[in-house]
């Protein structure tokens, strides 16, 4: 059986205040064409399909259009789960009505996760759709105390194992941070305080685990796979080879993964050099329309370098002066501050003001407040 696995579309995302909707529509056109030529048995979209709980209307219209084309025009079913950026309830609108058409949406967490049964010449395959959920949400659904992301995920997987028939191949579609995975800057942490990470061993017994969350395509343990994000959504992803993944599930449950690269409308690149050199080089640059982040090595004063750069690279995103970013104590301090989490920043603020370290009780209270704020922000985002 063959699956086309993708994740982290982040439709509606703004990057340096620019809407990426045109880039997303462009690459999704290619994705639909790939589905048409490859005709997999199902498309798996493993969460963060939108960038925020309330996406802009054009993102809603784009997802609507892409799903209708894949399902109605091409005739391939889709399994779609909510990620930590999506609103579980909003994403699930119409789920019951669209199911018989071949769109299986799992937004909200329930005691019995959605299961899609498919068949090939070698028999049945069961796909379990596990939307992202905070441990507290899983606790409410399952009625058990589950303090961590790992405990919550394990409880859900145990429930699936208990009813999964022996000898039937199994696939989990999920959204999680697996220990050992390589992170990028555009992933929103799942947990404040803890990492929210789960061990790959949690998925033991399942033939294929098709995940979303981490933006770099990567495979752990041979069958726990991140398809990666649709586009480069942060500077830390400039070196990524983005792709969607064709996954062949053999008769014996073996897994073979082939990356299928798509071609973005505009790439994301970092260019480095003196402003005049960069502008001169742009003349021969066939990809001047790329999103360009410029690290300027000039040491003297520069008058409005952004405006000048934009004449050469119309989609330039921002400029950084390496002499300022790297030079001296102030630059280092600013860099260190940027790398700290809100919790760490608060702890150093507390140290400064109270001349004492946070004790365990205070730290716990702080983490609760931050987690509450993060949850509220997710819903109102």
d(C-alpha 113, C-alpha 139), whole Å: 14
Length of the chain: 381
Strand partners, 105: 80
Cβ partners under 8 Å of residue 168, min gap 6: 123, 124, 125, 126
Interface residues with a second copy (CB under 8 A)?
54, 57-58, 60-61, 63-64, 67-68, 71-72, 87-90, 92-98, 100-101, 103, 379
In whole angstroms, what is the distance from residue 222 CA to residue 291 CA? 34
Smaller CB distance to a second copy: residue 93 or 349? Answer: 93
Write down the least CB distance from residue 98 to a second copy, Å.
Answer: 5
C-beta closer to a second copy: residue 344 or 379? 379
In angstroms, what CA-CA distances link 219 with 10, 39, 48, 149, 176?
21, 23, 19, 20, 13
Shortest separation between residue 83's beta carbon and a second copy, angstroms: 16
What's the closest the beta carbon of residue 210 comes to a second copy, in angstroms? Answer: 22
Query: Among residues 109 and 245, whose Cβ is nearest to a second copy?
Result: 109
Nearer to a second copy, 50 or 177 (CB): 50
Task: Quote the CA–CA distance of 192 and 195 in Å, as a whole number.
Answer: 7
Q: Distance between CA 201 and CA 58 in Å, rounded?
A: 39
Distance from CA of residue 229 to its chain's centroid?
6
Minimum CB separation of residue 127 from a second copy in Å reads 19
Shorter beta-carbon distance to a second copy: residue 99 or 148:
99
- Under DSSP, is residue 310 helix (H, G, I), strand (E, B) or coil? helix
> Whose Cβ is closer to a second copy: residue 82's or residue 296's?
82
Distance CA 50, CA 341 (A): 24
3-class DSSP state of 153: helix
What is the smallest separation between the CB atom of 136 and a second copy, expressed in angstroms? 16
Q: Which residue has the tokens 């150093």?
A: 348
Least distance to a second copy, CB of residue 60, Å: 5
Whole-number Å distance between alpha carbons of 94 and 348: 47
Of 75 and 327, which CB lies nearer to a second copy in the complex structure? 75
130 bridge partner residues: 174
Is the distance from CB of 261 to CB of 230 less than 8 angstroms? no
Cβ neighbors of 376 (< 8 A, separation 6 or more) are none
Min dist CB 354 to a second copy, Å, is 38
The minimum distance between CB 74 and a second copy, in angstroms, equals 13
Nearer to a second copy, 14 or 72 (CB): 72
């Amino acid at each position: 059986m063959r699956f086309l696995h993708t994740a982290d579309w982040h439709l509606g995302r703004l990057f340096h205040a620019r809407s990426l909707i045109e880039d997303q529509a462009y690459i999704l056109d290619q994705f639909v064409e790939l589905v048409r030529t490859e005709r997999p048995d199902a498309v798996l979209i493993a969460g963060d399909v939108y960038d925020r709980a309330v996406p802009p209307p054009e993102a809603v219209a784009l997802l609507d259009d892409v799903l209708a084309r894949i399902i109605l025009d091409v005739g391939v079913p889709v399994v779609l789960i909510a990620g930590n950026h999506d609103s579980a309830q909003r994403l699930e609108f119409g789920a019951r009505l669209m199911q018989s058409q071949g769109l299986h949406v799992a937004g909200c967490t329930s005691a019995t996760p959605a299961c899609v049964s498919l068949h090939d010449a070698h028999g049945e395959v069961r796909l379990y759709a596990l939307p992202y959920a905070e441990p507290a949400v899983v606790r409410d659904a399952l009625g058990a105390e589950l303090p961590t992301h790992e405990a919550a995920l394990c409880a859900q997987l145990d429930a699936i194992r208990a009813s999964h028939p022996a000898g039937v191949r199994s696939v989990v579609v999920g959204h999680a941070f697996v220990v050992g995975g390589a992170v990028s800057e555009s992933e929103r942490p799942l947990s404040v305080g803890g990492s929210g990470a789960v061990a790959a061993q949690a998925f033991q017994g399942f033939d294929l685990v098709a995940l979303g969350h981490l933006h770099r395509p990567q495979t752990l343990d041979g069958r726990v796979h991140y398809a990666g994000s649709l586009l480069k959504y942060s500077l830390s992803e400039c070196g990524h080879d983005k792709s969607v993944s064709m996954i062949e599930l053999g008769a014996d449950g073996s897994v073979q993964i082939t990356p299928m690269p798509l071609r973005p409308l505009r790439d994301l690149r970092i260019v480095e050099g003196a402003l005049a050199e960069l502008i001169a080089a742009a003349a021969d640059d066939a990809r001047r329309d790329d999103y360009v982040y410029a690290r300027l090595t000039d040491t003297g004063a520069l008058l409005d370098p952004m405006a000048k750069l934009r004449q050469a690279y119309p989609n330039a995103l921002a400029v950084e002066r390496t002499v300022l970013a790297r030079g001296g104590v102030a630059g280092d301090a600013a860099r260190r501050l940027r790398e700290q989490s809100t919790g760490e920043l608060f702890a150093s603020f507390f140290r400064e003001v109270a001349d004492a370290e946070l004790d365990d009780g205070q730290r716990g209270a702080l983490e609760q407040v931050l987690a509450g704020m993060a949850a509220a922000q997710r819903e109102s985002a």
